[in-house]
Amino acid sequence: MAPQDALSDALSADMAAVNALIRARMASEHAPRIPEVTAHLVEAGGKRLRPLLTLAAARMLGYGGQDHVKLAATVEFIHTATLLHDDVVDESQRRRGRPTANLLWDNKSSVLVGDYLFARSFQLMVETGSLRVLDILANASATIAEGEVLQLTAAQDLKTDEAIYLQVIRGKTAALFAAATEVGGVIAGADERHVTALRDYGDALGIAFQIVDDMLDYGGSATVIGKNTGDDFRERKLTLPLIKAVARATAEERSFWTRVIEKGDQQEGDLAQAMAILARHDAISACRLDALGWAAKAKAAVNSLPEHPLRDILSRLADFVVSRVA
């Protein structure tokens, strides 16, 4: 069984409570547009990976209360809010196999319903009464937003290096993974070293996950990733495969990258040409090594925690994330 499914199974009662809470809190007595837009996205059957991470972290550290359900719903609301805003920013047309909310309704609704979900997540976390949890999620929110702006300004800029890329994907993915696992440990009252290990696990897992996603954009199949190969290329995003290829570029290749990425002058055959250059410099293989390195870090972190069946699933999850490109 895939580790995500194993997590879902092991945490099914908790997850049912999370889903009930999400449905209750996305309601709005006065503005029916809010639950319409939210339900469109929430019920499209996302993997619910982030709330599962929070629940797993809390349970494996022995938590017996119910506040982890609030935190798991919080994390999913933050994730949903960022997806709504991302789709506006990226002018996306499809998400989770459906037309995006900005397409079905309008950009206005996506912006404002995203704001509403962020406010709702904020109310939920305040209800836990833990200032430390609030501090973690406030910092994660700032990292997410800063990473998104950084991605916007780094796009089309060939000077974007691996350090900037790491900041972007921490904002885009890893910050919320790390906060999701960390708050699970905090609410469970875990030892500091265990809280740190949980945060490190989420951070490394998120980074591995995003590197793999960015690799698949230059070689995965549409069925695996649910989007078309070459999207990042067409949107002129400086993701890791491209950054590595640019760093190793010959003079001739450099003018190719300048034309297609910086100037955006893309012609028939340019994607194939880009992938040939990536192959010539082993850029994808280099990305794979990085992803495997982060997955190993994630496993080392989670394996430093006390023995628990959930711990073993989380460890397998780190392998699974990189198995898509292994």
The residue count for binding a copy of itself (CB under 8 A) is 42
99 beta partners: 94
Which is closer to a copy of itself, CB of 32 or CB of 306?
Answer: 32
Nearest by Cα to 109 from 81, 147, 90: 81
- Asked if 116 is part of the footprint of a copy of itself (rule: CB under 8 A), the reply reads yes
Distance CA 17, CA 287 (A): 38
Which is closer to a copy of itself, CB of 167 or CB of 315?
Answer: 167
| Cβ 58 vs Cβ 101: under 8 Å | no
User: Is 86 in a helix, a strand, or coil?
Assistant: helix
Cβ neighbours of 263 (radius 10 Å): 11
Which is closer to a copy of itself, CB of 128 or CB of 315?
Answer: 128
Residue 207 corresponds to which tokens in the numbers above? Answer: 């980074």
Q: Select from 49, 88, 188, 211 the one that contacts a copy of itself (CB under 8 A).
A: 88
| Cβ 262 vs Cβ 249: under 8 Å | no
Binding part of the chain for a copy of itself, among 9-17, 27-35, 208-216, 279-287 by CB under 8 A, reads: 27-35
What is the Cα Rg of the chain in Å? 20
How many Å from the N-terminal Cα to the C-terminal Cα in the chain?
A: 18
Distance CA 225, CA 237 (A): 17
Q: Select from 13, 24, 30, 64 the one that contacts a copy of itself (CB under 8 A).
A: 30
- Asked if 156 is part of the footprint of a copy of itself (rule: CB under 8 A), the reply reads no
Site map for a copy of itself, 280-309, x if CB under 8 A?
Answer: ------------------------------
- Asked if 85 is part of the footprint of a copy of itself (rule: CB under 8 A), the reply reads yes
Shortest reach from residue 232's CB to a copy of itself, in Å: 16
Q: Select from 111, 158, 225, 279 the one that contacts a copy of itself (CB under 8 A).
A: 111
- Asked if 119 is part of the footprint of a copy of itself (rule: CB under 8 A), the reply reads yes
Which residues are CB-contacts of 69 (< 8 A; sequence separation ≥ 6)? 14, 17, 18, 21, 55
- Asked if 24 is part of the footprint of a copy of itself (rule: CB under 8 A), the reply reads no
- Asked if 23 is part of the footprint of a copy of itself (rule: CB under 8 A), the reply reads no
Which is closer to a copy of itself, CB of 100 or CB of 315?
Answer: 100
Which is closer to a copy of itself, CB of 5 or CB of 262?
Answer: 262
Question: Concatenated DSSP letters for 134-158?
Answer: HHHHHHHHHHHHHHHHHHHHHTT-T
Binding part of the chain for a copy of itself, among 42-50, 139-147, 260-268, 307-315 by CB under 8 A, reads: 139-147
Go through the chain and tell me how many residues it has. Answer: 326
Q: Select from 1, 2, 16, 152 the one that contacts a copy of itself (CB under 8 A).
A: 152
